[in-house]
Structure 1
Amino acid sequence: MYESKTVNVYEQLAQLSEAKRIELLTRILVRIPSVNGTAGEVDIAEVIEGIFRSFPIFQVHPQWVWTQKLPGDALGRENVFAFLPKPGAHDTVIYHAHFDTVGVADFGSLKTAAFTPDELATYFQSYTQDADIQKDAQSKDWLFGRGALDMKSGDAVHINNILYFSEHPKEQQGNLLFMGNCVEENDHSGVINAIGELMRLKLKYQLNYTVAINTDFISPKFENDTQKYIYYGAAGKVLTCFYIKGEETHVGNTYGGIDSTLVASAINLLVNNNPDLVEDIPNEEILPSSCLMLRDQKDFYNVQTAKTTYMYFNTFTYQRPAYQIMAQMKQAVQERCDQLTADMDTLEKNYQRGLQVPLTKQTRHLAVYTYQEYIQHLNRQGVATSKLIKAFVHEHGDMAKRQIGFELINYLDQAANDTTPKVVLFIAPPFCPHNYVAEHTKIYQDLQTMTAQCATTDQFVLKKFFPFLSDSSYFAISESEAEIQKLALNFPLMAQLYPLPYPQIRALAIPAVDIGVYGKGAHTWKERVYKPYSFGVLPNLIRNFTQLTWTKGV
């Protein structure tokens, strides 16, 4: 448990300039090891709640600060809310950020210093293997540590701005709602559960959510890039999975089967980093799929080829519905598997010709299905798939949510005694919807005004899609109900594994933007946030944008 959580943080902040306030808040939060999936997520929620409760406005109105527990969470993790109302106002700006981090294994021998910014800065000042980080450390303009950039400095900026408006009530023309979320780094469970709380508040207080402002990090895109990127949309994501079943054989008869790892390798070479299998949007950072897992299912060493292999990819979505991306990928994989079996036939024939033996009649075939198509195939064979799926859920319902789809297909395959080599393409959690702010709207125009009015020398660039995964995906959804239903057909056990509150998300339809802290090395041991911009420029930038959203359009 964080030992200083009961200290009156406001007493420390009151004596400081704004930039020093945000730095102190960032340091307090970085010191808490809130690694995703650990009790540190509980600790940091308590600390953030305590920080808010130390502010004079919340001393008078303690009911304006509260937490929301994640239902059924074994760790007891919570979201944190702080509401700063303006009497008579309905327009409400949401300041949101997550407070969990990735792990610290990458720090190696420096793991014990991962949450100690000054110790890391001292280390990097004499670190000659990376001139850029050494220069940054020596400049004293950067704050190091796990979570310093992603994204406890972003939390600190929002906390500071809530404090600022509480101290300058005449500048506040609408309501402010801070929302700090847990569990962002893998399944986004925090923000998903918070959607219900946002709906409750909207109905109870007749709130009109004008915009949700995320402070998730931005970074240089190329060497010497100093531009500051503002995003008015969030990329989506599907986890595209491949169940691959080959035909096992002895290594002494290697042409007698189909090695599932060979099939997986062919699919990996096709899909991994292939820009032709994702969207093409001019002037946007559109990322191809990346393989996150590839694993054969052999339990021990022997001289038999692997019968089954599992693999999945991170696949981004931007404007096209996810089911269309899936259909395109399935067609490409079908063509590649057809070519693979033809190549294997050619190799075997050449081998037999070299031995001067009769050529074997070629019978290789790899069936490629989507999950929906495979279920339909089994149903045509008379397999009672619905009954089998219910039995599987009863027996294995507590299995890890990214493993259960593979095991369900394997279960069905064995129950049907289906021995044919195959590839089954399906979706597993998490699914992140994509969304973006239309360029004819007031919110987009307010972003343009905000950057034009900024008095600093920073060069701002407006981009449509935040290039990383973020909680902003869950404030609105661009895909129609029919398009989501098509996706669900290829998402085994979607309702049980990843029950998103689609009706509430559609009803809220909150424009989401990212005006983020600036730094380098997120998710690496070199993570650092640039203080002059993040602590000195960004807070006022966000306040100006907030005030613009409270004004009525012409």
Structure 2
Amino acid sequence: MLNCKDEVLFLTKQLVSIESIVNTNGEKEMAQVLYTLLSSFPYFVENSSQIVMNQTQNDEQERYNVLAFVKGTKGTSNKTVILMGHMDTVGIDDFNQLADKAVHPDELLEAIRRESLPDVIKKHADSEDWMFGRGVLDMKSGLASHIYLLKYYSEHPEELDGNLVLVAECDEEDSSHGILSALKDLKAWKEEHHFDYVSAINADFVSPRYEGDENRYIYKGTVGKLLPSFFITGAETHVGSCFEGLDPNFLAAELTSRINYNPDLSNEAYGEITVPPVSLKQTDLKPSYTVQTALSAYVYYNFFIHSWSPKEVLEKLKTEAHAAFKKALALYNQRYRNYCEISGEPYKEHPWKPRVFIYEEFEQMLISTQGTPYIDHMKEFKEQLLLDSTLDTRMFAARVVEEAWKWMPDKSPAMILFYSSLYSPRIEISGKDDKEKQLLDALEVAVNEIQPTYDYPIVTRNFFPYISDMSFVALSDDEQGIKAVSDNNPGWGTKHYVNYQDIRDINVPVINIGPYGFDAHKKYERMEITYSTEVVPNLTNLVIKNLLQ
């Protein structure tokens, strides 16, 4: 067993003290501090070409990844294990009056102890085995564990029959520019040094799955995340004549009622099930107040997957949208009839029918009916839209669909379904090839060796349940599944692009062995010190040794 607790704890505090909130200059500072720290290790003083700080590519922010590797001298194996972890954190606004202490765990703990706390948080605050602060759990303690192991093997390369690569990436909390850029460095090192990447080990946080759950989880593979989005048009009217039109917000509300929290849209695989979709935005696109009903509405949903492809999700949601549209029209007509009965006004049948288009269908329809003028106009429109730095990928996509709708010959109410953001691919690790089998075997041996030394159950599951950069080192989707993402994102190739071939070029099975704690992304974010700084590094080390023996 490595005697690592004190050093990992010290490293964690060092990393936490650098405020590295995503999309701020703190990310850049964090990379510089980490690069300086690693460069001071004697091994990297002598082998300076084996550590780099490289800027992310195709990124509106200036930020950097730090990558380093140690070559083992025990043998001549090219087997290489990748240790990966992100340097950025979410913001600190939730700390309110304690914001100035958010990245200073000792000061924060003193302040927290003076507050009126829920019992479990008070118990942890009064314990000597918990650390509070932004980033202590998500995931600077995990990164500290990896840095410790890199340092250890830099001092003992004779114990390593193979190679160890550290990838400390930025921008995990937003758009994954960090890992997507780092793939190119990994590929370059693979070609230059003949690395045979056998496994990747991420160190993102783990938490209880339910109240009273005392398991400490290790995850094989990861959940996938999509952002299905709907541009919804109605028929505008003056609110004083509301039944002469159709409010798109009415359609959006019925759609959300059908999709939100719907367990029929949870995806089961290997006995594990995703949480159902939930809306992350719902709005109309009116720029300001008028007494006219909105022309259009926009809604998008978080959608987790284990085994479904992006293409299957579009098909399922098209069916759901059609049903929601049909139900909304039926309810509208029922209320219209009721109103006519009590007001004495004549009832007039509307011609509207449920219309739902997947973006790919919608785009091809416009190309076939409008031809080159439409294609040229949309190309120029997207180029001009790129100049608006206030638009994120999601609103950029919505504006593209809104503009395309103007070319639609039939402007009766409709829903258009598309993807408006990054797809974080699902990864299944089932033992389907030798690398996966070796990783699963190495993990099983490690857990069996560590479990007797630790009081709580260490349990493996198949899918990491949160979004992470694990999604970008392997692909379980086939080409058709990935094509459904690119063909149905209106911002693809302009505002948004992912080179999935870079992922296929690395394509390494990945697991997550990370720190344990509570309330990531919340004010009382905290980690259990013993598991996070002692058990995690030793588990990870045993997996490395078992893989490279």
Please give the TM-score of this superposition, normalised by the length of structure 1: 0.93
Q: CA deviation at 1:258?
A: 1.0
Q: Give the aligned partner of residue 251 of structure 2.
A: 263
- Residues 32-74 of structure 1 show CA distances to partners (whole Å, capped at 9, x for unaligned) of 1100000000000011111111212222222222111113545
Q: Give the aligned partner of residue 403 of structure 2.
A: 411
Give me the whole-angstrom Cα distance separating, in 1, the residues matched to 2:315 and 2:118: 44
Q: Give the aligned partner of residue 60 of structure 1.
A: 46
2:356 aligned partner, one-letter code: V
1:159 aligned partner, one-letter code: I
Q: Give the aligned partner of residue 246 of structure 1.
A: 234
Q: Tell me, yes or no, if the aligned pair for 1:125 and 1:135 is still in contact at 8 Å.
A: no
Q: Give the aligned partner of residue 439 of structure 2.
A: 443
Give me the whole-angstrom Cα distance separating, in 2, the residues matched to 1:508 and 1:438: 18
Q: Tell me, yes or no, if the aligned pair for 1:126 and 1:134 is still in contact at 8 Å.
A: no
What residue ranges of structure 1 are gaps of 5+ in the alignment?
1-15
Give me the whole-angstrom Cα distance separating, in 2, the residues matched to 1:530 and 1:374: 51
- Residues 378-426 of structure 1 show CA distances to partners (whole Å, capped at 9, x for unaligned) of 2454354322321212322344322121111111122446532111110
Q: Give the aligned partner of residue 539 of structure 1.
A: 537
Select 2:380's aligned residue among 365, 372, 391.
391
Are residue 315 (structure 1) and residue 307 (structure 2) matched?
no
State the identity %: 32
Give me the whole-angstrom Cα distance separating, in 2, the residues matched to 1:515 and 1:320: 25
Are residue 371 (structure 1) and residue 366 (structure 2) matched?
no
- SS at 2:423 equivalent: strand
Q: Give the aligned partner of residue 495 of structure 1.
A: 493
2:37 aligned partner, one-letter code: I
Q: CA deviation at 1:525?
A: 0.9
Q: Give the aligned partner of residue 453 of structure 2.
A: 456
- In 2 relative to 1, CA 480–119 (structure 1 residues): closer, same or farther, beyond 3 Å? same
- In 2 relative to 1, CA 40–167 (structure 1 residues): closer, same or farther, beyond 3 Å? same
- The answer to which of 433-442 and 337-346 deviates more is 433-442
What residue ranges of structure 2 are gaps of 5+ in the alignment?
none
Give me the whole-angstrom Cα distance separating, in 2, the residues matched to 1:355 and 1:226: 62
- In 2 relative to 1, CA 412–498 (structure 1 residues): closer, same or farther, beyond 3 Å? closer
Question: What is the correspondence of 1:68-107 to structure 2 with a 5 Å cutoff?
Answer: 68-71=54-57, 73-87=59-73, 88-107=76-95
Q: Tell me, yes or no, if the aligned pair for 1:195 and 1:501 is still in contact at 8 Å.
A: no
Q: CA deviation at 1:547?
A: 0.4
Q: Give the aligned partner of residue 423 of structure 2.
A: 431
Q: CA deviation at 1:166?
A: 2.3
Select 1:172's aligned residue among 160, 169, 176.
160
- The answer to which of 78-87 and 409-418 deviates more is 409-418
- Residues 131-161 of structure 1 show CA distances to partners (whole Å, capped at 9, x for unaligned) of 1111101102111111111011111000011
Q: Tell me, yes or no, if the aligned pair for 2:11 and 2:144 is still in contact at 8 Å.
A: yes
Are residue 478 (structure 1) and residue 476 (structure 2) matched?
yes
Question: What is the correspondence of 1:1-40 to structure 2 with a 5 Å cutoff?
Answer: 18-40=4-26
CA RMSD of aligned residues (A): 1.8
- Residues 424-451 of structure 1 show CA distances to partners (whole Å, capped at 9, x for unaligned) of 1101121111112223512112211111
1:449 aligned partner, one-letter code: V
2:415 aligned partner, one-letter code: V
Question: What is the correspondence of 1:185-196 to structure 2 with a 5 Å cutoff?
Answer: 185-196=173-184
- SS at 1:403 equivalent: helix
Q: CA deviation at 1:462?
A: 1.3
1:241 aligned partner, one-letter code: S
Q: Tell me, yes or no, if the aligned pair for 2:400 and 2:491 is still in contact at 8 Å.
A: no
- The answer to which of 435-444 and 195-204 deviates more is 435-444
- SS at 1:68 equivalent: strand
Are residue 138 (structure 1) and residue 126 (structure 2) matched?
yes
- In 2 relative to 1, CA 73–329 (structure 1 residues): closer, same or farther, beyond 3 Å? closer
Question: What is the correspondence of 1:105-184 to structure 2 with a 5 Å cutoff?
Answer: 105-184=93-172
Please give the TM-score of this superposition, normalised by the length of structure 2: 0.94
Give me the whole-angstrom Cα distance separating, in 2, the residues matched to 1:353 and 1:522: 55
Give me the whole-angstrom Cα distance separating, in 1, the residues matched to 2:305 and 2:96: 34
Give me the whole-angstrom Cα distance separating, in 2, the residues matched to 1:522 and 1:319: 26
Give me the whole-angstrom Cα distance separating, in 1, the residues matched to 2:493 and 2:97: 43
Q: Tell me, yes or no, if the aligned pair for 1:146 and 1:527 is still in contact at 8 Å.
A: yes
Q: CA deviation at 1:281?
A: 2.7
Give me the whole-angstrom Cα distance separating, in 1, the residues matched to 2:227 and 2:19: 28
Q: Tell me, yes or no, if the aligned pair for 2:398 and 2:420 is still in contact at 8 Å.
A: no
Give me the whole-angstrom Cα distance separating, in 1, the residues matched to 2:288 and 2:489: 31
1:420 aligned partner, one-letter code: S
- SS at 1:496 equivalent: coil
Q: Give the aligned partner of residue 197 of structure 2.
A: 209
Q: Tell me, yes or no, if the aligned pair for 2:318 and 2:358 is still in contact at 8 Å.
A: yes
Give me the whole-angstrom Cα distance separating, in 1, the residues matched to 2:349 and 2:32: 69
- Residues 180-232 of structure 1 show CA distances to partners (whole Å, capped at 9, x for unaligned) of 00011111010001111111100111110011100000001122322111111
- SS at 2:227 equivalent: strand
- The answer to which of 80-89 and 167-176 deviates more is 167-176
Q: Give the aligned partner of residue 10 of structure 1.
A: none
- In 2 relative to 1, CA 364–415 (structure 1 residues): closer, same or farther, beyond 3 Å? closer
Q: CA deviation at 1:358?
A: 2.8
1:132 aligned partner, one-letter code: V
Give me the whole-angstrom Cα distance separating, in 2, the residues matched to 1:548 and 1:285: 30
Aligned residues: 536
Q: Tell me, yes or no, if the aligned pair for 2:298 and 2:398 is still in contact at 8 Å.
A: yes
2:489 aligned partner, one-letter code: F
Give me the whole-angstrom Cα distance separating, in 2, the residues matched to 1:394 and 1:50: 40
